[in-house]
Structure 1
Amino acid sequence: MARLCRQTPLPIALDEELIGVNDADEKAKLLDTIQPQYIILKPSLHGAFTGAAEWMNLARERGIGYWVTSALESNVGLNAIAQWCAAIDPTATMPQGLGTGQLFVKNYPTPLEIEGETLWYGDAKDRAFKNEIADFTQRWLNDEPTMPVHTSGSTGEPKLMHAEKVKMWNSACATIQALGLQNGNTALLCMPLRFIAAQMMLVRAFAAQLQIIAVPPPSRPYRRLHEAPDFAALTPMQVYESLQHPHDCSLLRRTLCLIIGGGALNPELEARLRTFPGEVWSTYGMTETLSHIALRRVNGAEPQDAYHPLPGVTVSLSAEGTLVIDAPEVCDERLETNDLAEIQPDGSFKLLGRRDNVICSGGIKLRIEQIEAQLAGIGVPYQVTASPDERLGETVTLLYVALTDRSEELEAYCRSQLDAYEVPRRYLRVDALPLTETGKPARAAARQLAAETN
């Protein structure tokens, strides 16, 4: 066999020849004597994962390739082997397999998927999201000093900007210190990677050596999890949806540190979160500040009603009463926001509302003027505003003037003109639209009217 392996024009793999060789010294002697190009391992025939891992380590030391396969295990066994192969040696370049025949049949819910001749852990969305993470990591490690990121639209038209890696690192370290995150903590990543919230989760993972649990951005990020992460960043809508399902809610409650951003927390949602045993924080920040610059504790012995800036961050008010942020570690210039605020004696601040005309629905920023422009042919006097919503935070609402209820007709028109996220969920017939003295839409009054009739 040794002579064949030395002289063969094609690679030779040992398979059954390994069965029964259980002593580590004997394994090493066999590999040194025969020197095969590959070995084939069936964990259930080699002392389970421990015995197979011993063969793999010995082979790796000798430059011998290995391939882990199955011995006609059940689907549960195949699932275990697939996950073990993916975890034990992330640097391995040789694909690992599960047998030469169609052994796997998806006859019960499982994250395993067959595509062609390949068995994957996770569906196409899972793999696409992991590829995005790999691409981000590669860009992070290159020599470019900045990273591309899209603004959410809360302080103006959505646009592409480039964030300095050094400042992203500073922001990550500030969060790690403020929340007491530790090396090895698990962190749930469940937001789109083109936005700063998701990107900063990865940078925090790099800085604190967190173990990322990647879930393609869903409304229920805990649905397919079996263990609660130590740390998670969610939108209010994701929190709301998770609370509606016992499995999700149980894991959410067991999350040690939960930060919630991307929209306001309504009082009902806050009330449910106050009973959580772990830390729950509401965050304040934006793309320009590279994620949050202030935190507000939602639960615990002393829940807070004001946001407290992170170390190195100071806030003030503009002449119009909007919040001005000075955070030199993450932003070169003082940033004037569209958020009306009230600053407390200790330097914390309370938010009073927004100066701009943006609806934050389920973490998605929708500009009122853009929606109204697309509805120019609606045929009735109208205004677009927002209503409080327990699930989405805010929901798009259409105020209109008409003699009779025309909500069904107006909804059909809106659906023909708007994207799905922009379509109003409420249609309120009013006697007159709220206007200023100069005839402009009175946005605050419109919101108040919608809230009072909610």
Structure 2
Amino acid sequence: MILDRTKQTLILDGKRYSREEIYALHRELGSGASPVRDLFVFLADWFDESPTLDVHTSGSTGVPKVLTVRKEQMMQSARLTCEYLHLNAGDTALLCMPLQYIAGKMVVVRALVAGLNLILRTPSGHPLADVDFPLRFAAMIPLQVYNTLQVPEERERLCQTDVLIIGGGAIDKELEKEIARLPGEVYSTYGMTETLSHIALRRLNGTEASSHYHPFSTVRLSLSPEETLVIEAPLVCDGTLVTNDVAKIYEDGSFTIFGRRDNIINSGGIKIQIERIEEILRPLFPAFLAVTSVPDLKLGEAMVLLIEGTTAMEHIEEIVATSLSRYERPRYVRMVDAVPLTGSGKVDRAACRLLAKELVYTNNMK
């Protein structure tokens, strides 16, 4: 592993670029948006004299934040992942996610630290559409994996990928069943911008498949009084990080996540975890959906189901009634053209709440 930035080079599509060549290409590319330019803008920032750089949170639960992080910590995160997944110099690594977020940045840092051969593609819902050779490593969000599995040619390319990590959103049970059939190693990641990508992995297929996340050996976990996960990861973040993720920790140090504490709806005194309701409903509908809430004078909060498409309301209500208990059922159902997502592909919880409030109070007929 190369943890000295002055000695790092980038291998892009099989060609090696020195630090000086990266600076020159950065100047030549000029202005204008493109994946190549975004890559070299990031690399120019990476190789400058500053020991830190700014990263943006996804904004999935509120206003996006800018965090200043140390490059040394990013390299340590990259080292932990590459060592855990046995990624070595010359291995091909696909970059198919936006570089403005930590997930995309960390793919590049892993390539720099481990000497991986970076394969660059424009971020899209079909990242393997024009990748016609096997990959050693790829990182995707759940929607990219789902889309890829729907196209036979792309599915075959995913089958030729040795190691796949999936982050940035929940993986529903039906998608997990499809993933379990893939021959390569597939992992769900747990982490956030503050931990510089993931600090734990959960195997989704093979004999090592598990419902638990397993943290890296240098990570220490505990629970807050509110039963949210508390993280101590000195290699990748300073201090102790108290998360909003409601969790359970097991004797062997592994853990499960039930959802975010700020995604708990208190409706008439009944506490409902949004993610659990979504997990139950998503396999039952062909359309994408999200659960949110609106203020309610009687209940405090009322649950709202946002669902894409034009499914008949009677059909939706029938499925909901047979799948959820009386106290878990949405008070309102609203059809939408698209469920709001962040730039990194997560459900935009704040935007969902605003949209639901507009739809419910504009037309308060269920």
Shorter-chain TM-score tier = 0.5 to 0.7
Of 322, 325, 332, which residue of structure 1 is paired with 2:228? 322
CA distance in 1, matches of 2:291, 2:45: 31
The one-letter code matched in structure 2 to 1:208 is: A
Partner residue, 1:289: 195
Unaligned 5+ segments in structure 1 are 1-85, 96-123, 389-397, 434-454
- Measured at CA, do residues 312 and 156 of structure 1 come closer, stay the same or move farther in structure 2, by a change above 3 Å? farther
Question: Which of 24, 42, 45 is the matching residue for 1:136?
Answer: 42
The corresponding residue for 1:248 is 154
Cα offset for 1:156?
Answer: 5.2
Aligned counterpart in structure 2 of residue 147 of structure 1, from 36, 40, 53:
53
Post-superposition Cα deviations, 1:275-300, rounded to whole Å, max 9, x if no partner, equal 21110011000000000000111111
In structure 2, the CA distance between the partners of 1:387 and 1:177, relative to structure 1 (3 Å rule), is farther
**CA spacing shift, 1:189–1:382, aligned 2, 3 Å:** same
CA change 1:353–1:386 in 2 (3 A) is farther
For residues 41-80 of structure 1, the C-alpha deviation after alignment (integer angstroms, 9 at most, x for no partner) is xxxxxxxxxxxxxxxxxxxxxxxxxxxxxxxxxxxxxxxx
Instruction: Quote how far apart the aligned CAs of 1:207 are.
Output: 0.2
Distance 1:399 1:211, change over 3 A: same
Cα offset, 1:349, TM superposition: 0.4
The equivalent of 1:190 in structure 2 is 96
Contact 2:125–2:144 (CA under 8 A) maintained in structure 1: yes
- Structure 2 partner of 1:352: 258
- Structure 1 residue 301 and structure 2 residue 177: aligned? no
Match of residue 161 from structure 1: 67
Query: 1:307·1:349 contact (CA, 8 Å) conserved in 2?
Result: yes
Q: How does 1:257-268 map to 2 (within 5 A)?
A: 257-268=163-174
Provide closer, same or farther for how the CA distance between residues 218 and 88 of structure 1 changes in structure 2, counting only shifts above 3 A: closer
Distance in 2, matches of 1:298 and 1:320, equals 28
Question: Cα 1:387–1:357, aligned 2, differ >3 Å: closer, same or farther?
Answer: farther
Contact 2:305 2:334 in 1 (8 A): no
Change (3 A) 1:367 1:267: closer
Q: Is the alpha carbon distance of 1:283 and 1:92 closer, same or farther for their aligned partners in structure 2, counting shifts above 3 Å?
A: closer
Structure 2 residue 213 is matched with structure 1 residue 343: no
Determine if contact 1:357/1:367 at 8 Å carries over to the other structure. no
Contact 1:155-1:337 within 8 A present in 2 as well: no
By how many angstroms is 1:171 displaced?
0.4
Give me the whole-angstrom Cα distance separating, in 2, the residues matched to 1:346 and 1:407: 43
Q: After TM superposition, give the deviation of residue 231 of structure 1 in Å.
A: 0.3
- Structure 1 contact 174–311 (Cα < 8 Å) conserved: no
Letter in 2 for 1:332: D
In 1: Cα distance, 2:22 partner to 2:224 partner? 56
Q: Which of these residues, 139, 151, 154, is aligned with residue 233 of structure 1?
A: 139
Q: Secondary structure at the match of 1:342?
A: strand
Q: Secondary structure at the match of 2:194?
A: helix
Identical columns (%): 43
Deviations 1:280-322 (A, max 9, x none): 0110000000000001111111311100001200111000000
Instruction: Give the drift of 1:354.
Output: 1.8
* Deviation (angstroms), 1:357: 2.9
Partner Cα separation in structure 1 for residue 263 and residue 240 of structure 2: 22
Gaps of 5+ in 2: 1-12, 26-30, 265-273, 279-289, 309-328, 341-347
Q: Alignment partner of 2:34: what SS?
A: helix
**SS of aligned partner of 2:154:** helix
SS in 1 for 2:262: coil
Question: What CA distance in whole angstroms lies between the structure 2 residues aligned with 1:331 and 1:255?
Answer: 30
> What corresponds to 2:118 in structure 1?
212
CA contact (8 A) 2:191 2:197 kept: yes
Q: Of the two structures, which has the highest relative contact order with CA contacts closer than 8 Å and spacing of 6 or more?
A: 2
Q: Aligned AA for 1:162?
A: T
CA spacing shift, 1:87–1:341, aligned 2, 3 Å: closer
**Whole-angstrom CA distance in 1 between matches of 2:22 and 2:236:** 37
Question: Is the 2:291–2:303 Cα contact (8 Å) retained in structure 1?
Answer: no
Give the letter aligned to residue 272 of structure 1.
E
Aligned partners of 1:277, 1:340: CA distance in 2, in Å?
32
Question: Relative to structure 1, is the Cα distance of residues 266 and 87 closer, same or farther in structure 2, using a 3 angstrom cutoff?
Answer: closer
Tell me the alpha carbon deviations over residues 11-45 of structure 1, each in whole angstroms, 9 at most, x when there is no partner.
Answer: xxxxxxxxxxxxxxxxxxxxxxxxxxxxxxxxxxx
Instruction: Tell whether the 8 Å contact from 2:291 to 2:304 is kept in structure 1 after alignment.
Output: no
Tell me the distance in 1 between the aligned counterparts of 2:138 and 2:132: 15
Are residues 140 and 176 of structure 1, via their aligned partners in 2, closer, same or farther at CA, if it must alter by over 3 Å? same
Measure the CA separation in 1 of the matches of 2:209 and 2:24: 52
Counterpart in 1 of 2:216? Answer: 310
Question: Which residue identity lines up with residue 196 of structure 2 in the other structure?
Answer: L
Q: 1:407 to 1:144 in 2, by over 3 A?
A: closer
Residue 357 to residue 133, structure 1, CA distance change in 2 (3 Å): same
* TM-score, normalisation: structure 2: 0.68
For residues 120-156 of structure 1, the C-alpha deviation after alignment (integer angstroms, 9 at most, x for no partner) is xxxx99x711001001011100001111110123565
What is the aligned residue count? 285
Q: Counterpart of 2:312? A: none
Q: TM-score, normalised by structure 1?
A: 0.55
For the structure 1 residues 321 and 386, does the alpha-carbon distance in structure 2 shift closer, same or farther, using more than 3 Å as the test? Answer: farther
Q: Find the aligned partners of 1:220 and 1:325 in 2 and give their Cα distance.
A: 34
Distance 1:195 1:289 in 2: 13
**Do the aligned residues in 2 keep the contact of 1:323 with 1:337 (CA within 8 Å)?**
yes
Equivalent positions of 1:29-178 (< 5 A) are 128-154=34-60, 157-178=63-84
- In the alignment, residue 175 of structure 2 is paired with which amino acid? L
The CA RMSD measured in Å over matched residues stands at: 4.0
Query: Which of the two has higher C-alpha Rg?
Result: 1
Please tell me whether the aligned partners of residues 246 and 260 of structure 2 are also in contact (alpha carbons under 8 angstroms). yes
